[in-house]
Amino acid sequence: MAFSDRIKSNPRLKKFFHWLLIPTNQARPRLWVRVILNRFYHRKGKNVIIRSWVRMDVLPFNPFSIGDNSMVEDFTTINNGVGEVRIGNNSLIGLGNVIIGPITVGNNVILAQNIVASGLNHNYADIRQPIHQQGVSVAPIVIEDDCWIGANTVITAGVRIGKHCVIAAGAVVTKNIPPYSVAVGNPARVIKQYDASSDEWIKTI
């Protein structure tokens, strides 16, 4: 049995190694994990810029990657504690974003300011337990290539935003958005789509 499998199959050993990586009841990895360990597990492309005031809550047991020429601006938090975080090439993660995996951000994507995109939900069904003791459920978010996500948007778990979409500022995206669409509102609804036959963006409502 591989060493990693032995850890996963032994609750006490798993708890001990988890404590080595993350202080109890916290999300931020220990300094030695951030400075030393992560560089052996995660992939950074060429000419990547991650600003000094970015909070990188990334751990070695889930993937994190960021492609060539991409940038993460200050005051953003990126967390792969419950699922992978993958950012493509030439993409911008703007000021003050919260990115919680599992999530895939494609190539040439612009995320403006103060966006929350979380592939995590807290379980709440058992009314006899506090919510924080009920664990979490996850569903991947996918933002396909060439999208522009406006400021203060919220993207919920399990949503796929198709290629070359525009999501207006302040939208709450709770359902999939088809490619080549403009969506607005809470919950977000499609108001325009690109029509290939006329080479125009056509209003849908």
Q: Backbone phi, then psi, for 113, in 5-degree steps? A: -95, 150
- The CB-side HSE value for 68 (13 A sphere, CA atoms) comes to 1
Q: Are 149 and 110 in contact (CB under 8 A)?
A: yes
Q: Which of 42, 122, 132, 164 is catalytic?
A: 122
Strands (E), 13-91: 43-44, 49-50, 55-57, 64-66, 71-72, 77-79, 85-87
Q: Which of 140, 150, 58 is nearest to 105 (CA)?
A: 140
CA distances to 19, 40, 156, 172 from 163, rounded to whole Å, are 40, 32, 18, 18
18 is annotated as an active-site residue:
no
Indicate the DSSP class of residue 7: H
Residues tagged active-site: 122
